[in-house]
Each structure stands twice: as C-alpha cells, then as structure tokens.
Structure 1
Amino acid sequence: MELFVQDTPTCESYVQDIKTQSAVERQLSIIGEAVNRFDKLSQHTILDNARQIVGFRNRLIHAYDSMDNTIVWAILKRYLLPLKTTVIKALETED
C-alpha cells in the first residue's frame, strides 16, 4: 500500500489524484476482506478494530459514492501501519 501513496505527500494531493484514490480504495477493500477472514480463522489473536475495518470495507464496496477522501487519508496515515505491525506479529506467533 505504501507504494501507492509514495508520490502523494498530502491529503490535498490525494484528493486531486483519482487514479491513486482508486488504487488505495481497492487495496483497503482487500485488506478489509483479509481482516474479516483472519478474524474468523485466528483463534489466538484478536485484531484491534477488526469490526470497524470490515465495516469500512463494506462502506467502500457498497457506499462508495459517499466516501470521504479525508477519512481514507486519515486511515492511511494513522491506522494502516499499526494494523500491519499487529498482523505480522500475529502471523509470527501463530506458527
């Protein structure tokens, strides 16, 4: 995901870049589906905010016309790296 926004340094530039928005939203929907599956399969690890992540994925897929780009940007900047770190740690301990 980091590659998609490496040339998009600000929320304003993100809002102006429809191609990047499309790529990011697609990746976030994939992440949401993966979190949903992970949450169902993992018996030992609970992901923080899993229900909110899945809910956001559903909104991306089903209510895309009401998506606020500033919310997407905030998710990218505040929540994606902690989620990635948690999942990596969880996968390492599940082995």
Structure 2
Amino acid sequence: MEIIGEAVNRILKKNKNFQLENAQKIIGTRNRIIHGYDMVSDELIWSIVINNLPKLKQEVENKLSE
C-alpha cells in the first residue's frame, strides 16, 4: 500500500490532470502508514485490501487499455 500511494503521488506530480478515483485518499493513507500517524490499525488495512484494492486494480486496468 505504501508503494501504491507513492506511485499515485508521483503520477499526479507529473500529470495533474490524471484522473484516479480516491487518489488523494490513497496518498493520505500512504502517509499515515509511512509516518505512523494514529497507529494505523490492522482492521483498517485489511478493509482497504478487501474493499478498495480490487476496485483500484480494475480502474488501473481500464486506464491501461484506453
């Protein structure tokens, strides 16, 4: 998740018009994990893995096929 957040951050720095749903939330989560803000819970990470990563994967695959 740290790598995904960093990648999204770098993409947006290179292309501010790049559209990715929840991009800022992805970057914010990366920052929370990296810096240990609020001691990120295992439950939060697991919830993101189960609920959000499959959607993000599909969104990225759609962008790659454009």
For normalisation by structure 2, the TM-score amounts to 0.84
Please state which structure has a larger fraction of its residues in helix: 1
Matching of residues 18-29 of structure 1 within 5 Å: 28-29=1-2
Q: Which residue of 2 aligns with 1:52?
A: 25
- In structure 1, how many angstroms separate the alpha carbons of the residues matched to 2:5 and 2:26? 6
* Percent of aligned pairs sharing the same letter: 42
Shift of 1:39: 2.6
Counterpart for residue 73 of structure 1? 46
Q: Does 1:39 align with 2:12?
A: yes
Larger Rg: 1
- The RMSD of aligned alpha carbons is 1.9
How far the C-alpha of 1:38 sits from its partner, in A, is 2.4
Q: Give 4+ residue runs of structure 1 displaced > 2 Å after superposition.
A: 38-45
**Structure 1 gaps, min length 5:** 1-27
How many positions carry a matched residue from both structures?
66
The answer to whether the 8 Å contact 1:39/1:47 transfers is no
